[in-house]
Chain A
Amino acid sequence: MSPQPFDSLKGFAVTFRQMFKKPITQQYPEYKRPVYPRFRGRHRLWRHENGLEKCVGCSLCAAACPADCIRVVAAENTPGNRVSPGERYARIYEINLSRCIFCGYCELACPFDAITLEAEFEISEYSRDDLIYTKDMLLAEPVKRMPVADRDLYDTPTPVWKAES
């Protein structure tokens, strides 16, 4: 350890050098920095290619949810009203995003990859009620588009639970 005055001067020198560098402040609302490929933002429900919902309303996501923010009420598919493959579908699927802690357990629990956590993180509303996302909102294409970084830049292997199924 060197004596005290030299250390202070070294510190000042670091500060002084920064004055000649270009600032890296990002103008957030105007510029959106790409999120990581495995970022966990707002949920999204998915459909099969034939238009049927992947979700069958099994409630496993609700069971896995540590914040208890998912509510699923299932119903039976009828020939006249086929919503998902299989016998049951989610008649009501609600996520209370004011309670969600974005842990991603629902995504892990889902046996059909029907729910995933996507890039969107700008979830603020003037009312708590508006933070309850219904099935239609979760199934729709997100209004806001968040840039996602190229996954090849990062060490993001396909998770085991996705690769093997």
Chain B
Amino acid sequence: MVRVTIDGQEVLAPKGQGLVETAASVGIEIPVFCYEPRLGPPVGACRMCLCEVEGLPKLQAACTLTATDGLVLRTARTSEQAAGGQSAILEFILLNHPLDCPDCDKGGECPLQDLTFRFGPGSTRMQFPKRTFDKPIPISPLIALDRERCILCYRCTRFSESVSEDGQLVAANRGAQSIIATFEDEPYRAHFSGNVLELCPVGALTSTTYRFRARPWEIQNVPTVCGLCPVGCNVWATTREGKVARILSRNHPEVHEGWLCDKGRFAYDHLRAEDRLRTPLVRVRRRGFEEASHEAALDAAEAGLRAAGSSVVVAFSGGETVEQATALARIVREGLGSDAALLPDDWDAALDAFRAPLSAIRDADVCLILGDDPVVERAPVVDLWLRAARRAEAEVIAVNPAGDVQAAPGSAAQVCADLREGKKVPTELRETAKSLKSAKRVALVWSEDDPTGGRHVGALANELHENGRAEVAVYVLPRTPNGRGVATAWYTVGEGRSDPPGEGEIGALVVSGDEAASDPRVADLAARASFVLTTAMFQSELTAWSHVVLPGTSYLEREGTYVNLEGRPQRLRRAVVPFGPDELEWLAQLAERFGVAIDPWAAPTAAEQADLPPADEFAWSRPDPQAPPGKPAGPGLELVRIGALFSGAAVERIPQLQFQRPAAEVELAHEDASTRGIAPGEAVVVTSNGTSRELRAGLNRKLRVGVVRIPAEHAKDFGDRVQVSRLSTGESR
């Protein structure tokens, strides 16, 4: 600890702490624009933090200084020189800043406005014309750039360079001519581009989806949790006049450090999609679907379920709250006497022993990523943590067909087993095994579907913990936002679970939510069921199979609890009121008819910014799981489907997000492409299972030979192996 004097107050601060935080700890504000500790070391670009330091003749940028013993700092509160300096800096910043605050979307929540009001000059001496640019420039369909308003704090470019590491936003030109631009004026296409909107301290970067929709005094901010991926980022849902107008991040330093992906930030408008189901639909014989009253729909649902007896299968989507899942599980188990369920993600409770906050990834020595799915597509913010770990000089090893270690597709369980054995490690894994052995803190990330509930990676973690004496954190990334909570809810209500029957008739199928409705396994069950009850927000192929369709709600319209991939229960709040009863209310009314009492109101359980529950006592008693046998080799190339982040019912309904959706592209290894004479960007024909599709070829030098990767939505009806060939020259020319 060192002693610093700020405005005559003595402060004890840890050595090396930034002066902005040190001053804030005693309630003294040092105004800043460019300073943002989450973006890495300070740059001192805006000079707003000018303060007087005793012994130095000139004003110093306080954000770049750290606490050292005996430092005497005088801020604008006590030093006239500092006050004059800050005022002059503001006048200088405002030289070229247009005074169009009434027009500007940031007006009312603009740090430049606020700080000018408090520290700046009252009037302008500027009498000559200001610098002008074309405006607004859409740097992507989501972001509009206004270069006139930019004060060149470099927050956005620092984010792009050193947090998301996409390097697409750059400062072009020099000195007074500097402008923010995208590289080569390409659209800013990245998973985390929306964060620059929140970082910008002026109205230079504005969101095209929020532009001009509301003013800060016209909105209500509802603290809730994003329900579009298993990370569970804390967000503010800004509502105006009963509609969600934007999503802002609510910094939870252990979960997402205030960063959001573009899906979470921009996909909210699917609530108001025109094709949303608003009334219950009941299928009437020979007439098709008819809109029904709530009572009639419940009658039909009850009749269908009663006719099925105990031959009922429930298909969860993983988007339900814990309360909904519990209610549904109770109806099926207690009311109908069935225990057949299709869970989107299974979960092994023994993994709780390796529970750790996501921020622990940054502190790890070695991060091992297993599984075929790219982490950024499955749980985007985890990718930011892994990048932070790499910047903190951790060793980040991805073991997948396109990773640092090029494993065969679907071999993650085998890799776990190999690394656990210790001896006879395959050659390509030898380096990895060595790193794991010497590491003190290990983070294991499992990024693909695992029907054994993460037991493979759990066994590896146990081995590292027991024999390697390492601190191990395990992150099994579920496919769905609340897959972990739904699985826990299902096992809490009753004992065990039987898988849905593989063949034969099913009495009734209950499909809960849109994610389940797009699952091919559910479609297979629906074809065999004599009664299908579906809850969905949108029409899909599955609702066409259904007999009763109840309108569903989105995560922004529900109260309840979500459990994220860390195992942290977080509170979901109702940001906007749905147009009808939400699922919990439907389920409560349905349960009443089967003699099960369910509270239609979700009790608030988790705190606003939830802590991670403590890890359980170390108890790994499960038998070591067997790695599944490798798939037999066959002709052609092995297909890996990528479940892209920007896909699904919500994204499809946001016009501004369409450019983010995966391109119709097939990724080929370099050798595979050259043996077939395929050049990058060329159109190729991909054939499998009697289906053929024309896709663009992309080369990936890191991809394992004999493997191709195709986004899942472009790989429909494909088998496990595909043939790739050039379009015949006649067609392509």
Contact = CB atoms under 8 A, between A and B. Distances in A.
Interface of A: 56-60, 62-63, 73-76, 86-88, 111-112
Given A74-B212, A76-B211, A76-B212, A88 B217 contact: no
B18 interface: no
Contacts of A75: 212
Given A57-B212, A59-B215, A87 B102 contact: no
B211 A63 contact: no
Given A74-B212, A76-B212, A58 B136 contact: no
Given A57-B212, A74-B213, A76-B212, A88 B103 contact: yes
Of the candidates B101, B102, B105, the one having the most CB atoms from chain A within 10 angstroms of its own CB is B102
B14 to A, nearest CB: 42
B102 A60 contact: yes
Nearest 8 pairs of A and B residues by beta carbon: A58-B102, A74-B212, A59-B215, A86-B103, A63-B217, A88-B212, A111-B102, A87-B103
Contacts of B185: none
Contacts, number: 39
8 contacts: A58-B102, A59-B218, A62-B218, A63-B215, A63-B217, A86-B103, A87-B135, A87-B212
A86 B100 contact: yes
Contact of A56 (B103, B213, B217, B218): B103
B143 to A, nearest CB: 14
Contacts of B107: 58
Contacts of A60: 102
B203 to A, nearest CB: 10
A87 B136 contact: yes
A28 B213 CA distance: 45
Nearest to B212: A74
Given A63-B218, A88-B103, A112-B102, 12 more contacts: A57-B212, A58-B102, A58-B103, A59-B215, A59-B217, A62-B215, A75-B212, A76-B211, A86-B100, A86-B102, A87-B103, A87-B136
A111 B102 CA distance: 7
Interface in B83-119: 100-103, 105, 107-108
A59 B108 CA distance: 10
A87 B144 CA distance: 12
Nearest to A87: B103
Contacts of A76: 211-212
A137 B107 CA distance: 28
Contacts of B213: 73-74
Contacts of B108: 63
Nearest to A64: B217
Interface in B36-76: none
Nearest to B240: A73
**Chain B: number of interface residues, binned into ranges:** 10 to 19
A58 B203 CA distance: 14
Contacts of B105: 88
A84 B478 CA distance: 50
Nearest to A62: B218
A108 B217 CA distance: 18
Interface string B188-218: 0000000000000000000000011101011
A75 B214 CA distance: 10
A108 to B, nearest CB: 14
A56 B107 CA distance: 13
A14 B105 CA distance: 66
Nearest to A91: B212
Contacts of A62: 215, 217-218
Contacts of B215: 58-59, 62-63
Nearest to A88: B212
Contacts of A86: 100, 102-103
Nearest to B136: A87
A76 B105 CA distance: 11
Nearest to A114: B102
Contacts of B212: 57, 74-76, 87-88
A75 B218 CA distance: 15
A58 B105 CA distance: 9
A112 B103 CA distance: 11
Nearest to B206: A87
Interface in B373-402: none
With most chain B CB atoms within 10 A of its CB, the pick from A59, A86, A111, A112 is: A59
Contacts of A73: 213
A76 B211 CA distance: 8
A62 to B, nearest CB: 7
Nearest to B146: A87
A158 B102 CA distance: 24
B372 to A, nearest CB: 43
Interface in B211-259: 211-213, 215, 217-218
A73 B135 CA distance: 22
Nearest to A58: B102
A73 B214 CA distance: 7
Nearest to A63: B217
Nearest to B213: A74
A57 B100 CA distance: 12
B214 to A, nearest CB: 8
Contacts of A88: 103, 105, 212
Contacts of B100: 86-87
A56 B102 contact: yes
Q: Kindly name the residue among B100, B108, B213 whose own CB sees the greatest number of chain A CB atoms within 10 A.
A: B100
Interface string B335-379: 000000000000000000000000000000000000000000000
Contacts of A56: 102-103
A46 to B, nearest CB: 15
Contacts of B101: 58, 111
Contacts of A63: 108, 215, 217-218
Contacts of A58: 101-103, 107, 215
Of B103, B105, B107, B211, most buried by chain A (CB within 10 Å of CB) is B103
A57 B215 CA distance: 10
B141 to A, nearest CB: 14
A75 B213 CA distance: 7
A85 to B, nearest CB: 9
Interface centre among A56, A75, A87, A88 (most CB of B within 10 A): A87
